[in-house]
Amino acid sequence: MKQHLLTIYTRTPLHVGSGTSVDVVDLPIMRERITGFPVIPASSLKGVLLQLAREKFDNGAHARNSTKPDAARVLFGDVEETLENGQKKQKSYAGCIQIMEAKILAFPVRSLAGCFAWLTCPAVLERFSRDVGKKLDIPAVAKDRVVPGAELIVNNQVVLEEFAMDIQPDTNNQLANLAKQLGKLSDDPLWKSKLAARIAVVHDENFQHFVTTCTEVVARIKVDPATRTVDEGALFNQENVPCETMFYSVLTVLPPRRQVTEAGFDPSAKLAELLPAANPPILQIGGDETTGHGLCEVKRIEPNNL
Residue-wise pLDDT for 194-239, tens only, equals 999 999 999 999 999 999 999 999 888 778 777 777 776 678 888 9
Identify the CA nearest to 203 among candidates 246, 146, 138.
146
- Give every CB contact of residue 253 below 8 A, 6+ residues apart in sequence: 1, 2, 3, 4, 96, 97, 98, 267, 268, 271
Name which residue leads in pLDDT, 231 or 103: 103
Q: Tell me what pLDDT residue 22 has.
A: 56
Residue 133 per-residue DSSP state: T
Q: Tell me what pLDDT residue 162 has.
A: 94
- pLDDT reading at 252 higher than 90: yes
Q: Tell me what pLDDT residue 184 has.
A: 93
Calculate ∠ Cα 253-265-48, nearest 5°.
50
Predicted TM-score of the model (pTM) = 0.91
Using an 8 Å Cβ cutoff, are 91 and 79 in contact?
Answer: yes
Name which residue leads in pLDDT, 159 or 62: 159
The domain locations on the chain are 1-16+42-80+87-100+241-306, 107-214
Highest mean pLDDT: which range of 22-31, 122-131, 254-263: 122-131
Instruction: Estimate to the nearest angstrom the gap between the alpha carbon of 244 and the chain centroid.
Output: 11
